[in-house]
């Protein structure tokens, strides 16, 4: 097994093997065959034109609809259903983040030790502003003692989301590997909490991490991300010492500024 996430590019190793296995999908049990088909369909999306891409999405959903009907008590099947709903719900009528979370919850209920089902579920809880559930997913995931990048990311999220207002945001951000920091920020950016954790994290990032080489492009991207975070929370950049004036934001008490 190379990677349960299958997240490399269209010409990456996981894609190559998923497509290759799909062409040799013979002699397997019905369950295994459906999961192989689903992986191959997912990875084939990167090789399609846009018109056939939407058809590929429909085929992927149909495959996993069949899998969940035939194997309703299989946690990996429900994980796969949650995963495609999470990534592709906007392309399928009737699908949603809420339905993705329901599928992941079903997977967890069937096998609470199946760690992949917790990854997106934490993000989905934060999108729903359900911090208590996010903390519970984090606690249950950490009890599994996973050791990959997700464990680093989720450990940092757990610390940042601990009850109260964490005072060590700076040290947490400075210690995270870049990829883990990106994942932490992406998940926190959907949370509109009174302690403004996402905003505090992004301010540290925009300021620059210790030992980083100068990169004007990265600085600009971080400035843009900070401005978006400010704007979505109704905070005007010039009231918060934002380091760039190229972006506009609005507040109920202050008009938009150029």
For the stretch 62-118, pLDDT in tens is 999 999 999 999 999 999 999 999 999 999 999 999 999 999 999 999 999 999 999
Query: What tens digit of pLDDT does each residue of 183-239 get?
Result: 898 899 888 888 888 888 888 888 777 777 778 888 888 888 888 888 887 765 444
Q: What is the mean pLDDT of the chain?
A: 82
Task: Quote the CA–CA distance of 159 and 155 in Å, as a whole number.
Answer: 6
pLDDT the model gives residue 24: 60
pLDDT the model gives residue 223: 82
pLDDT the model gives residue 162: 85
Is there a contact between 60 and 84 (Cβ–Cβ < 8 Å)? yes
Delineate the domains of the chain, giving CATH numbers in brackets. Answer: 1-114 (1.25.40.10), 219-258 (no CATH)
DSSP secondary structure string, 24-54?
T--S--HHHHHHHHHHHHHHHGGGS-HHHHH
Q: Considering only CA atoms, which of 228, 144, 151 is closest in space to residue 186?
A: 228
Q: Considering only CA atoms, which of 70, 98, 76, 69 is closest in space to residue 85?
A: 98
Which residues does residue 80 pair with via DSSP β-bridges, in sequence order?
A: none
pLDDT the model gives residue 12: 55
Confidence of residue 253 (pLDDT cuts 50, 70, 90): very low
């Amino acid at each position: 097994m190379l990677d349960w996430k299958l997240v490399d590019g269209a010409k990456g190793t996981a894609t190559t093997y998923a497509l290759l296995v799909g062409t040799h999908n013979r002699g397997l049990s019905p369950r295994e065959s459906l999961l192989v088909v689903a992986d191959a369909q997912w990875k084939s999306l990167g090789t399609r034109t846009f018109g056939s891409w939407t058809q590929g999405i429909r085929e992927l959903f149909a495959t996993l609809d069949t899998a969940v009907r035939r194997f309703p008590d299989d946690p990996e099947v429900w994980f796969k259903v949650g995963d495609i709903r999470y990534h592709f719900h906007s392309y399928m009528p009737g699908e949603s983040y809420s339905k993705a979370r329901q599928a992941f919850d079903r997977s967890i209920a069937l096998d609470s030790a199946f760690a992949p089902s917790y990854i997106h579920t934490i993000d989905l809880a934060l999108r729903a502003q359900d911090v208590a559930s996010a903390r519970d997913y984090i606690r249950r995931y950490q009890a599994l003692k996973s050791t990959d990048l997700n464990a680093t990311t989720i450990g940092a999220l757990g610390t940042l989301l601990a009850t109260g207002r964490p005072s060590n945001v700076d040290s947490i951000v400075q210690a995270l590997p870049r990829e883990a920091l990106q994942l932490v920020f992406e998940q926190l950016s959907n949370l509109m909490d009174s302690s403004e954790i996402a905003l505090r994290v992004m301010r540290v990032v925009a300021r620059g991490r210790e030992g980083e080489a100068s990169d004007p492009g990265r600085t600009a991207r971080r400035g843009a991300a900070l401005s978006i975070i400010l704007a979505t929370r109704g905070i005007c950049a010039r009231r918060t010492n934002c380091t760039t004036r190229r972006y506009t934001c609005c507040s109920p008490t202050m008009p938009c500024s150029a």
